[in-house]
Structure 1
C-alpha cells in the first residue's frame, strides 16, 4: 500500500514590495506588475519538497516562481533587487520601501536557495537508491528452462496466467485512477494556496487599516477638543472687538479689528481643513468594511476548498484499499501458479520413471 501524505503549502516569509517584470521585447525596460505595493511571500510545499515565491494582486498571480539552486537575487540599488526565472522566461524586480527590507528579503532568498539545493540532492539520492533496488530485485529467467517447460506449462498455466494478466490490468487502471486523483489534489492545493496568499494579504491590509482607524479616532477626539478651544477663543475675541467698538477710538480699534479678523479667517480655514480630514477618515472606514467583507468571502471559499480536499482524500484512500486488495489477489494467484508448476514437475518426474520402467521391460 502506498504511503499517504497531504499537507498544505505554508508561508515561510512575507514582505511588501512593488513588483516589476522585464519588458520581453527590449529586455531592458521594467514594466510595473502592480499599481501599488503587494505582499511577496516564500512558500514551502512539503509534498513536493520545493520552495516558491508567490505574489497575488487582485484575482491573479503576479509572481509564481519555483526557486532552483541556479537562481541568484541581485541588489542593483539600495532599495531594488532582481532575479531571473528561466522557466517563465522573464526577470522579476522588487522595489522596497527601505534598505533594511531589501536586505531581509535577500538574506531569506539565499537561505531558501540553499534549502532547495539540499532538497534536490536528497531527492536525487533517493532516486538512485530506488533504481539500484529495482535492478537487484528484477527476476532473471533462463531461456533453457522456458524451452523445457514450454508445452506442459502452457497447458496447465493458461487460465492462471489469464487471471494474472487481468489482475495486472486492474492494477494499472487503479494506478491511473490514483494519478488522476492526485492531480486533482494538486490543482486543489494550488487554488487553496492562492486563497491563502490572498487571505494573508487581506489580513495584512486589515491590520494596517485598523491601526490607522484607531489613530484617526484618537486624532478626531483631539481635533474636537481643539475645535472647542478655537470656538471659545473666537467668541472671546469677538467680545473684545465689540467692547472696543463700544468704547470708541477708531485708530487702535481698527488695527486690532483687522488682526482679529485675520485670526478668525485662519481659524475658519483650519476648521475647514480638519473637517476634510474627518471626511477622508470616514471614507477610509467604508473601504475597511469592504475589505472585511472580501476577507470573509475568501475565508468561506477556503473552507469550501478544504471540504473538497477532504472528499478527495477519502476517494484516494478508497482507491488505495482497492489497489491493496488487487495486489493480495495477484499474490494469491502467483502462489496457485507456483503450486501448479510444482505438481506438474512431479507428474513429469513420475512419467519419466514410468517410461524408464517400460523400457527396461521391453529390453527383457
Structure 2
C-alpha cells in the first residue's frame, strides 16, 4: 500500500486486496507528515519482516533438503557403526535450529501484532480527533453564520448612523443658515432702529410745529375780529374795505385751505404715529424671536 497526501491536512491509501480506499484528516500538516513517516516505517518494517521470514523459510527448506540427503548415510552409518543414541545426536542440532527459528518467527509475529494493536489504537485516536475536528468545523461554520448575521446587523446600524450623521449635518447647515439669517436680521434691526430714531426726530419736529398751529389760529381769529371792527368803523372806506374784504376772503380761503392742510397733516401725523407704534411692536417681536 502507498500513502498519498491529497492536501495539506488529508491523506489516503488504497488496499487492493480489499478493494477499499482509506482516508484520514488531521488538524495540522505536521501531524499528517508524522503519520506519513510512521506509515512508511511500518511498511518498510513489514517488508523487512516478510523478507526475513522468506529467508528463514528458504533456510529451513534448504536444511530439510540437506537433512533429507544426509539421513540415509547417517542411518547407514548408525546401522553399521553406531547406535540409536548416535541417531538422536545427529538429529538434535537441526531440531534446535528449527526451534530457534520458530521462536524468532513467533517473536516477530507478536511484535507485528503489538505494532498492529498500537497503530489501531493510534488510528482510533486519529478517528476521534477527526470527529472532533468535524464537530469543530461545524461549530465554526455556525459561528461564521452568526458572525455574518452580526456583520449584517452592524452594517445596518452603520447605515442608520450614517443617515443620522447626514441628518445632523443637514441640521447643522440649517443652523448655520439660521445664524446667517439672524445676523442679517440683526443688521436690519439696527438699520430700522436708526430709521426709527430719524422718524421720532421728525415726529418731534412735527409736534413742535403742531404746537404753533393754535397760536396761528388764535392770531387768525384776532385778525378776523380786527377786520370786523375795521368794517364797522370804516364803512366809508368801502372801496378799500372791499379790497380788504377780498383780501380777508382770500385770507379766509387760505385759512380754510390751511385748516384743510392742517387736518390732512394731522391725519398723516396720526397715521405715522400708528405706523411707528406698529413698527415698534414688530421690532419687539423680532427681538423676542431672536
The two structures have a TM-score, normalised by structure 2, of 0.48
Larger RCO (alpha carbons 8 Å, 6+ apart): 1
Query: Which structure dedicates a bigger proportion of its chain to strand?
Result: 1
Specify which structure has the higher proportion of helix.
2
